Amino acid sequence: MSLRLASTAVARREFQLFARRKSDWANPLMFFVIVCSLFPFAVGSESERLRLIGVGVIFVGALLATLLTLPRLFDEDARDGSLDLLLSSNEPLAMLILARVAALSFGIGAPLILAAPLFSFLYALPADVALMLALGVAIAVPTLLLVGAIAAALLVSARGGAILTAVLVLPLTIPTLIFGAGAALKVLFGESPVAELSLQAAYLLFALALSPLAASAALKISTD
């Protein structure tokens, strides 16, 4: 079986799962929606105040929603045995993981990318900021999934995996958070977001190059 065939098979399986189990992408979306709705209760509903925290709330909400889907990456597969098939494949494991992460980025990311601008309006943010936020979330979701795949792969069989994954992954998402939210803030204050956006994209490319390799090494360690 060629590598292309194998990766498309892996990605197609992911999409089929998304189509048949709608909760897989609907629950992270609901989580995001609810988290974003909680903040006005805590800080007050004046639009001036909401505008200042909106970018941060939406960005962190999207990161947390994505984080919660990480156990889905390998845990279920380990339980139903499909992880063994993945591991025993002749194709390079890193590429197969990349295919899964790519499919997951679409499945989880697309609803969040659509919801992010919607919530920008609830936080009294102007339309151009909303678009920039959607773009920032679109870069941040695959970045987090790539970095998170390493931790998820390490913790397939470990105790307290979900919470430990968060502890390991969240500090590593700080660059994408800084630059992604920074780009939207730049637009909010009427400046050019190009520098922040480029750096955020650069971090994604960096993760794209290295983390599938690290994740495959991690998977081999934890399933050894």
Interacting residues with another protein (CB under 8 A):
147, 150-151, 154-155, 158-161, 164, 167-168, 170-172, 174-175, 178-179, 182, 199, 203, 206, 210, 214, 217-218, 221-222, 224
Spatial separation of the C-alpha atoms in residues 220 and 22, rounded to whole Å = 30
Task: Report how far apart the first and last C-alpha atoms of the chain are (Å, whole number).
Answer: 24
Residue with Cβ nearer another protein (95 or 170): 170
Least distance to another protein, CB of residue 99, Å: 21
Residue with Cβ nearer another protein (38 or 195): 195
Least distance to another protein, CB of residue 177, Å: 9
DSSP state letter for 91: S
Residue with Cβ nearer another protein (17 or 178): 178
CA angle 98/101/104 to nearest 5° reads 150
CA angle 56/58/62 to nearest 5° reads 115
- Residues with Cβ < 8 Å from 199, sequence gap 6 or more? 175, 179
CA 76: distance to chain centroid?
A: 18
Least distance to another protein, CB of residue 25, Å: 27
Residue with Cβ nearer another protein (60 or 115): 60
